[in-house]
Amino acid sequence: MNTLLQRTLPLLVVAVIIVLLYYPLMIWANSPVAQRSLETGADIGCKTVSECVYMLRNPVIPAPAQLGEGIKSLTIPPLAPTSAPYNALVTLGEAIVGLALASAVGLLLAILLVLSGSFERAVLPWLVASQTVPIIAIAPMLAVILGQYGVQGWFPKALIAAYIAFFPIVIGVSKGLKSPDPLQLDLMKTYNASRVQVFTLLRFPASVPFLFTALKVASTAAMVGSIVAEISTISFSGIGKMLAENSRASDTIALWVIMFYGALLGIVLVALINLLERMVAPWRATRS
């Protein structure tokens, strides 16, 4: 019980702080817009600035009632093609597939970086350079190339998510594989252990904490990659598609709701990785 309280109390404190700050921030952000609307004579159903900050059609920060109504309208029915939950599940699926692909490629590259110093010197600069290319430029180009071979739909977006997510995994896992103490490596050599045995008995167990830390970073990167890919390519579903449509329509309340769902997706992905960590490395969960 005490452990549960220790884990939930910080979250509750942050939630209370957000609630306390929300109203003054909303009033401060919406007041200039409300003032301009009143000066132009627009009929928005209010007569004073203090009233109008809660009733703007496109507020900078929506009032709680507007946000609640926006969540309701974009959530019910939850499995409709235009609903936020349905599109969030599409984006979540793309991000999970992208993260799985990134994990496979990242683990392989990390092993090769540790096995060969020449490979590391030759490839690592190019891996770093790959992350400096704007994803918004790569996404449509990759979609066009894959489309020529009949690869369409969600898979190109998963590939783009993998492209964004693999780098933290490569760096984190390679750091973990190199983390064993030199004395431990010398002891393995003393026992005449093969390279495979050194990896399986020493390097891989030592890299587990680094792996899950890298996965948590990569999961958010995969989510961002999926959303950017949906915005940058022709998409019929997904959070990115909803963001693009409502941005063109200047529906700020809908944009806030979609951002809320995007943040929720990130929390879900990290929670899934935490669950996987508890299954693979229960001793780390016990320590924390």
What confidence category does residue 3 fall into, taking pLDDT thresholds of 50, 70 and 90?
low
For residues 143-155, give the mean pLDDT: 75
What confidence category does residue 215 fall into, taking pLDDT thresholds of 50, 70 and 90?
very high
What lies within 8 Å, CB to CB, of 271 at 6+ separation is none
For residues 198-215, give the mean pLDDT: 87
For the chain, the structural domain boundaries read 2-61, 84-287
169, pLDDT greater than 90? yes
Closest CA to 251 of 59, 2, 47, 18: 59
Q: What is the pTM of this model?
A: 0.85
At 102 the pLDDT is 94
71, pLDDT greater than 70? yes
For domain 84-287, give the CATH superfamily: MetI-like (1.10.3720.10)
286, pLDDT greater than 60? no
Q: Please provide the DSSP assignment of 138-189 as one string.
A: HHHHHHHHHHTTT--TTHHHHHHHHHHHHHHHHHHHHHHHT-S-HHHHHHHH
What confidence category does residue 9 fall into, taking pLDDT thresholds of 50, 70 and 90?
confident
At 54 the pLDDT is 85
- The least confident of 68-82, 112-126, 148-162 is 148-162
What confidence category does residue 4 fall into, taking pLDDT thresholds of 50, 70 and 90?
low
Residue with tokens 């969030």: 88
Q: Which span out of 47-56, 258-267, 275-284 was modeled with the highest average pLDDT? A: 258-267
Look at 235 and 284; give whichever has higher pLDDT: 235
- The least confident of 39-43, 234-238, 265-269, 282-286 is 282-286
Question: Alpha carbon of 31 to those of 40, 135, 142: distances in Å?
Answer: 14, 36, 44
What lies within 8 Å, CB to CB, of 221 at 6+ separation is 161, 164, 165, 167, 168
Look at 285 and 216; give whichever has higher pLDDT: 216
